[in-house]
Each structure stands twice: as structure tokens, then as C-alpha cells.
Structure 1
Amino acid sequence: MKRLLSALAVLALTATMATAAEKVTVFAAASMKDVIDEAARQFSAKDGTQIVASYAASSALAKQIEAGAPAQIFISADLDWMSYLARRKLIDPASRQIIAGNALIIATDQAMADSDARTLLDARRFAMGDPSNVPAGKYGKAALETLGLWGEVKKNAVFTENVRLALQYVVLGEVKAAIVYASDRMAAPELKEAYRFPASSHAPILYPAALIEKNASDQARAFLAFLTGPAGQAIITARGFMGAAEAKS
């Protein structure tokens, strides 16, 4: 009887460990939500691996990982916050890679026909990510500075904690425009792209991904490989991002 109970205990422990191993925790920039949700659905359908994703500004996620949050994969909306974790030796450097790219636009409601950045932003309130810590906000401020507009329009800016919230401000009618990524507008088809910032007005918008060294499992490695493979890249481009090859070119 004791041997049977011992064997059952071992089997139960093995089953528990297997269940835990089939869960992958992804910390991803808010702008990647639609991509990761769909990638998780497709990946889970193959072998039952559960993908649990947390979305927020890259800065907030990096700080959480630094504080010990149990993420296995980090996907940032800019290079700086990935480098922040790299300097603290919290990522597997060999796994770090660019998985996508993006463009920066001004999204407005359908009633607006303006196409000039100054006109769109100078006479009305607009939303954008907080330039002090949100990558989309940093890119937006840099682009407006390059165009010589930041000094004129910053008085109208409503800063948000992530780029998706800036988009929602327009959808809800709280503001008339928002500086967001081109991919974000696809989540709000009722809005239109009124202006696209020249690529030369800001640093390239790149999405690095990496494994969190102390937490990464074989399943996490497999999911990251899925994102960089043909199926994952098809999801990325279908949702308005540039694929990895184009982003790095």
C-alpha cells in the first residue's frame, strides 16, 4: 500500500510539473496585443501549450521583470528597454532578435479630412504615449521635434500610459486625434490614418524579443521560434506590422 501511495504521489507530482511546463508567460508591449493573442491561439491549437500574455508599456513590463515577475518572454516596442534588461543580465542574449517593425501615424475620426500634422495637432487636443517612458510617445515626440512642431503642439497633448489607451481616447471621443502605430489603427477600423510620419523623422520602430534567462522553458523557446517563423510572421504582417526581414533591412 505504501508503495502504491508513493507511486501515485510521484505520478501526481509529474503531472503537476508537466502542466506547469505547458504554460508560457509572455510580457509584450501593448501594441503587440492582437499579434500575440492570435499567435497564442494558433500555437496552443498545435500542442495544448497555454500562452498567458500580459500587455502594458514596455517600460512598465521591463520594470516588472526586473522586480522578479515570472515572465518567460519579453517583447518590447523599442530597443532601449530590451537593452535595459540586457545590462542587468536578465535576458538570454543569444535569443534576442527583431521580430517586427512599425510606422508612426496620426489616427483621427472619419469626419476629419486634414492631412497636415500641424493642422491636425495644433488646434485640438490629441493623445499620445507619455514620452518619458512609453516608446510610441518617445517616437512621437522625436518625430514632432524633427518636423519643428513639438514646441507648438505639446500644449495640446494628453499623455497616456500606453499606445492602445491613446487610440481609445479617439474611439471614445475624448480627443480628436492620436499619435499611434500604424498597426494600432487596424484595431479601430472606424478611425482613419490622417497622416503618416516620415520614417526619417524618428528612429526605426523595431520590436525586439528575448527569453528571460532564469525562467525560459523549452515551450517558451518554441513559441519565440513560432513568432519568427513563417506562421508567426504572417500574423505580424496581417496586422499592419512590418515583418522582421523588412524591419531589419
Structure 2
Amino acid sequence: MRHRSIFYLLGLLSFSSTLVFACSLISNTNSSSINQSTNLTISAAASLKTAMEKIQYLYGHTKPRIKLIYNFGSSGSLQKQIEHGAPIDVFISAATDKMDALEKQGLLLENTRKNLLKNNIVLIVPKEKRIGIKSFRDLSSQSIRKIAMGEPKSVPIGHYAQQVLKNLKIFEKIKPKVVFARDVRQVLYYVETGNVDAGIVYASDMKVSKGVELVADVPVNSHSPVLYPVAAIKSTKNAKLARELIDFLFQETSGRIFKNYGFELAE
């Protein structure tokens, strides 16, 4: 009996030690899971860069364990990246046709697509170097040697700019002067540095630059509406978080940031 009691006691101690170790392991695993951050990757039109960086700071205070990773570029190139399987959670385009293409291919998460923002198109020149430009029609003047605009096929601002210039019937005349850029921020850079005499950008881009001056807004009804749709990508592994981020972009605090940087709310 005495031997049995000793063996029973040793067995009980062994079981207790195992239980304590298991509880400790579970506790450590849960602690690690709680402290682990989740990355959320957003592909966004280049014109959104400054505003979205402010959104990132604001979102970090609201969701400290969610890290926003940005991929900025022309909407056309971002669309192609998603089509080729890039691991993107949320896409914000500067043109509806890029989002339409993804939707037709079934690449968007159901019921997440919404129109987020609107923008306007403006003609700008390097600060204190106007060279007699007062309107879009003046771009055809012989004194204007270089004009920057986005590449129409892949860069939405280029597509809108081409619509404006064709509507004014001057596109073919000024085409030899045009320097095509990979995105709207490159257009802005060309104007800021004086490498071109004028450029066509969004009003929001002009607002973040101190090196350019406004010449003219686009004529009314000279281009299709500039809309920025947002949607989650179907292949995302963070569907719930992607939906929450989209909801956050429509909140009043986010709306104030967008307005401060020259955007208008679409809804």
C-alpha cells in the first residue's frame, strides 16, 4: 500500500507539472497572438499619396495592431498588378474603368465597391514662370515648348487630359510638345522643377505643391467625371479588416483629411 501511495503521489506530481507547462504554453501562444500585428496592403492611385499617409497615421491610433502598407502608382499599372495576382487587400483607383475591368473578371470582394472621392482637373505652370499661359488653348502657342501629362492608356489623369484637349480640338496640334509621365506625381515633379512649361494635374496635387501656380480649371463638361472607387480584392486573406478599413475611409474624420488635400467626397 505504501509503495502504491508513493507511485500515486509521483504520478500526480508529474501530471501537475505537465498541466502547468501546457497552461504556460497556451498563455504564451495567446500573448504572442494578441501582440502580433497584421499587415493590410492598399494599392492606391498616386494622387492619393499625401492624403493616405495622413489616413495611415490616423488609422494607426484607432487600430494599433493593423499596419497599413501602401503601394502607390498609376491606376492602370495597379490594376495589372492585381490581375497578375499581387497580394493586395484594398484597391483605390482614380478611374472607374480600371475598377470595372477587375469587377468583370470577378476579382473584387462582393459588396465592397463604392465611390469614395471626386476630383477636378487643372492646368499648372512652374511658380513665377507663367510664359503668357492663361488658358488651355494657350498650350498651342509657339512659345510653349513642353507640356507634361499622364500617359492616356494607363494613367487616368492622362486620359482625362486627353479628353479635355480633344474637346478643345488642340490635342493633335500640341502632341509633339507632350512629355508623357508614368503617373500624376511625375507630371507634378516635371512642372515643379521647370522641366516643362505647363502640366495637367488634379486639383488635389496642385494643393500639396508649393512650386506650381494655377493657370486654369478645365472647361465645364470637357471630360468624364473624375471618380475614385474603392473595393476590397477577392483574394484578400483579411476580408473583415479590409471591409473595416473601407468603412473607416468613409468616416467623417477621414473625410476631413481628404477635403484638406483638395478632394471632394463622392457620397
Gaps of 5+ in 1: none
Question: Once the 2 structures are TM-superposed, how far is the Cα of residue 120 of structure 1 from its aligned partner?
Answer: 3.5
Identity over aligned residues, as a percent? 30
Partner of 1:180: 201
Partner of 1:67: 84
Cα separation, partners in 2 of 1:17 and 1:74, compared to 1, 3 Å: farther
Cα distance in 1, alignment partners of residues 136 and 125 from structure 2: 11
Aligned Cα root-mean-square deviation (Å): 2.0
**Structure number with bigger Rg:** 2
Partner of 2:171: 150
Question: Once the 2 structures are TM-superposed, how far is the Cα of residue 69 of structure 1 from its aligned partner?
Answer: 1.0
SS for the counterpart of 2:116 is strand
Verify the 8 A CA contact 1:103 1:199 in the aligned structure 2. Answer: no
Q: Does residue 108 of structure 1 match 2:125?
A: yes
Cα separation, partners in 2 of 1:198 and 1:10, compared to 1, 3 Å: farther
Cα distance in 1, alignment partners of residues 107 and 35 from structure 2: 25
Q: Does residue 118 of structure 1 match 2:140?
A: no
Gaps of 5+ in 2: 1-16
Partner of 2:97: 80
1:117 partner letter = F
Aligned residues: 244
Cα separation, partners in 2 of 1:6 and 1:58, compared to 1, 3 Å: farther
Q: How does 1:29-40 map to 2 (within 5 A)?
A: 29-40=45-56
Partner of 1:56: 73
TM-score, scaled relative to structure 1: 0.90
1:58 partner letter = S
Name which of structure 1's ranges 91-100 and 72-81 shifts more when overlaid on structure 2.
91-100
Cα separation, partners in 2 of 1:87 and 1:229, compared to 1, 3 Å: same
Question: Once the 2 structures are TM-superposed, how far is the Cα of residue 46 of structure 1 from its aligned partner?
Answer: 1.6
SS for the counterpart of 2:36 is helix
- Provide, for residues 212-240 of structure 1, a one-character-per-residue CA deviation record: whole Å limited to 9, x for no partner: 12204322222111111111111111100
1:179 partner letter = I
TM-score, scaled relative to structure 2: 0.85
- Provide, for residues 180-223 of structure 1, a one-character-per-residue CA deviation record: whole Å limited to 9, x for no partner: 10100112122111111124000000000001122043222221
Name which of structure 1's ranges 45-54 and 3-12 shifts more when overlaid on structure 2.
3-12
Question: Once the 2 structures are TM-superposed, how far is the Cα of residue 93 of structure 1 from its aligned partner?
Answer: 3.6
Cα separation, partners in 2 of 1:55 and 1:13, compared to 1, 3 Å: farther
Verify the 8 A CA contact 1:23 1:51 in the aligned structure 2. Answer: yes
Cα distance in 2, alignment partners of residues 81 and 221 from structure 1: 20
Cα separation, partners in 2 of 1:198 and 1:18, compared to 1, 3 Å: farther
1:130 partner letter = E
- Provide, for residues 111-168 of structure 1, a one-character-per-residue CA deviation record: whole Å limited to 9, x for no partner: 2152121224542201110012111000000110011111111111000110110110
